């Protein structure tokens, strides 16, 4: 399976999976760049996968589904119209035409019914939409800190080698915030150097990996002493646990 990034809008990535001339697209917020990519590569669209209902993730779904008459997979409880199969945690799908299997995780927080698609082997990947970002996480538009903390915990428990395909190029801004939380994190400094060089060359910083996120992403490090201390300084008082630490640094990030 080959995975290709299609840049869209200001900072979105639409992900195309390709196997032997067949393709699937994850979170196609805009149909036009997907159609151009398919034509340029001689690919036929066999399936559409959606993670949540925001327009920059599903805006192109109706046109693509009409044009290619392909099935649309998506979250059962997130208000996405026109689905061929409505998915919840525990479901397992095999993408038509590609023969690639994904397990579904419920990862609410950014939206109420957000899902992620996980391929566990032989080459583990996760398409996580706007739940987990490279060195960050999504805003809590519909969910609670406890929900998002739990969702991130599910993703954090995936194999360290799992490649993380999020939907936005937010990495350098997220790293700047992570530095404010954990200025002494050497792995974070190394990541900043690598990802800054990538962006200078116009190369995506995505995918990252679960192992890299565990080492550098403050939202996955809410039990680490340095992150707890930073959150408590921000809050001005002691915090009882990781969920409260997460809530504090998420609110901090909102105004950073």
139-197, pLDDT tens digit by residue? 999 999 999 999 999 999 999 999 999 999 999 999 999 999 999 999 999 999 999 99
Residue 64: exposed, middle, or buried by beta-carbon count in 10 A (0-12, 13-18, 19+)?
buried
Candidates 53, 57, 78, 106; catalytic one: 57
pLDDT at 121 over 90: no
Q: Beta-carbon neighbour count of residue 204 at 10 Å?
A: 15
pLDDT at 54 over 90: yes
Q: Beta-carbon neighbour count of residue 52 at 10 Å?
A: 28
Which tens digits make up the pLDDT trace of 63-103?
999 999 999 999 999 999 999 999 999 999 999 999 999 99
Candidates 27, 53, 78, 168; catalytic one: 168
Averaged pLDDT score across all residues of the chain: 97
User: What percentage of the chain exceeds 90 in pLDDT?
Assistant: 99
Candidates 54, 78, 114, 195; catalytic one: 54
pLDDT the model gives residue 122: 86
Q: What's the CA gap between 245 and 189, in Å, rounded?
A: 22
Radius of gyration of the chain (CA): 18
pTM score, whole prediction = 0.96
Q: Is 53 a catalytic residue?
A: no
Asked whether the beta carbons of 89 and 66 are under 8 A apart, the reply is no
Q: Is 57 a catalytic residue?
A: yes
Q: Is 52 a catalytic residue?
A: yes
Candidates 30, 78, 110, 195; catalytic one: 110
Question: Which fold does the domain 1-90 belong to in CATH?
Answer: Metallo-beta-lactamase; Chain A (3.60.15)
**Which neighbouring-strand residues pair with 126?**
118, 164
Which tens digits make up the pLDDT trace of 58-70?
999 999 999 999 9
Candidates 27, 30, 52, 53; catalytic one: 52
């Amino acid at each position: 399976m080959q995975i290709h990034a299609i840049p869209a809008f200001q900072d979105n990535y639409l992900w195309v999976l390709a196997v032997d001339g067949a393709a699937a697209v994850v979170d196609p917020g805009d149909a036009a760049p997907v159609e151009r990519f398919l034509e340029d590569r001689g690919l036929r669209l066999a399936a559409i996968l959606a993670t949540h209902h925001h327009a920059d993730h599903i805006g192109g779904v109706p046109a693509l589904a009409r044009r290619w008459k392909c099935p649309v997979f998506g979250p059962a409880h997130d208000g996405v119209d026109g689905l061929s199969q409505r998915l919840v945690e525990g479901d397992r799908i095999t993408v038509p035409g590609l023969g690639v299997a994904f397990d579904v995780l419920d990862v609410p927080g950014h939206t109420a019914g957000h899902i992620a698609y996980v391929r566990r082997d032989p080459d583990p990947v996760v398409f996580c939409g706007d739940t987990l970002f490279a060195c960050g996480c999504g805003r809590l538009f519909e969910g609670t800190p406890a929900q998002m903390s739990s969702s991130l915990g599910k993703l954090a428990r995936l194999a360290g080698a799992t490649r993380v395909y999020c939907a936005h190029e937010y990495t350098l801004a997220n790293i700047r915030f992570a530095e404010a939380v954990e200025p002494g994190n050497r792995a974070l400094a190394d990541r900043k150097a690598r990802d800054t060089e990538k962006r200078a060359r116009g190369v995506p910083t995505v995918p990252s990996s679960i192992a890299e996120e565990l080492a550098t992403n403050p939202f996955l490090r809410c039990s680490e002493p340095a992150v707890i201390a930073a959150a408590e300084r921000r809050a001005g008082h002691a915090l009882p646990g990781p969920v409260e630490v997460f809530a504090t640094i998420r609110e901090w990030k909102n105004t950073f």
